[in-house]
Amino acid sequence: MSNRPTWQEQPTLFGLTAKGFVLTLIALAMLYPIYVVVLTSLSTAQAVTEAGGLVTLPTDLSLDAYRELFGGGVVTRAVLVSTGVTVVGTAVSLGLTVLAAYGLSRTDSLFHRPLLFLFLLTFLFTPGMIPSYLLVRELGLIDSYWSLILPSALSAFNLVVMRAFFMNIPGELIDSARIDGAGDFRILWRIVLPMSKGVTAVIGLFYAVGYWNAFFNAVLYINDNSKWPLQLILRQYVQQGMNLVPNTRTYDTAAGALPPNLAIKMAIVVVALIPVLLIYPLVQRHFTKGVIIGAVKG
């Protein structure tokens, strides 16, 4: 009988098989809805009608839904708006988070405790919808792209995670850099950030996904529909049946019919999913050492 703890025992063949089976079921449960959405977006009106809704077996595939989707220019413009807001917003948010986290990780910095208390206070109290709208309006940001960025530019949770990670960087490195005459910005750029690539990539992903999927700020602050992001276009089309193409546009297919509304809806969902599915694998390997280490230590 071994005296080692259970978690230090070598896994048995049955245990490995059971884990593999369970993980396979979980993966299939997550991939199956994506498969159905993609397949439905590529199906013709006849295939959707025969399936009675969502298509599960490929029969008659077509790109008509995507041609219809991008033909009117509404979705194309919305994709550009969402991309621009995501890129600029992520850069702004990541810059503010890095600067604030580094400053708050230095316990000898000016007003360290009061500022940290203010940031932590936002976990308990958040501004309401009306005060937020009045503030954005008074700043003159209504119908401005900055209204989609500035109200959510800094997340207290991301700040706390990054601050905890920065606090675990050996102080000797920073002290030696100060002796050599380096200032705070040089230390942050040359020492702290290169040692924090994992947590920076994860926090950047959190911000990017948040900006890409956000639509509520656009509902509140954007009145000009030419400035709507993709997620708001998706909401308007799915819930209210908004027309995405001009009524005068002619459409010619082999079947002689427009693609079904369900296929167009699924095509919008696919377009909204693609950036996240492409970016996530690139930073997935940083999650363990980026978020878990940053949150547990310090």
Mean pLDDT, 10 residues at a time, the chain of 298 residues: 62 85 93 91 85 83 83 83 94 94 84 85 82 91 93 90 87 84 85 86 89 91 90 79 53 52 84 83 64 47
pLDDT at 288: 56
pLDDT at 287: 61
Per-domain boundaries in the chain: 65-287
Q: 206, 217, 104: which is closest to 155 by C-alpha? A: 206
Per-position DSSP letters for 59-109, written without gaps between them: SSB-SHHHHHHHHSSHHHHHHHHHHHHHHHHHHHHHHHHHHHHHHHH-TTS
Q: What one-letter code names the amino acid at 180?
A: D
pLDDT at 23: 92
pLDDT at 243: 61
Distance, in Å, from the CA atom of 231 to the CA atom of 218, rounded to the nearest integer, reads 9
pLDDT at 53: 80
Q: What one-letter code names the amino acid at 60?
A: D
Four-way CATH pick for 65-287: 1.10.220.150, 3.40.50.620, 1.10.3720.10, 3.60.9.10 = 1.10.3720.10
Are 238 and 172 within 8 A, CB to CB?
no
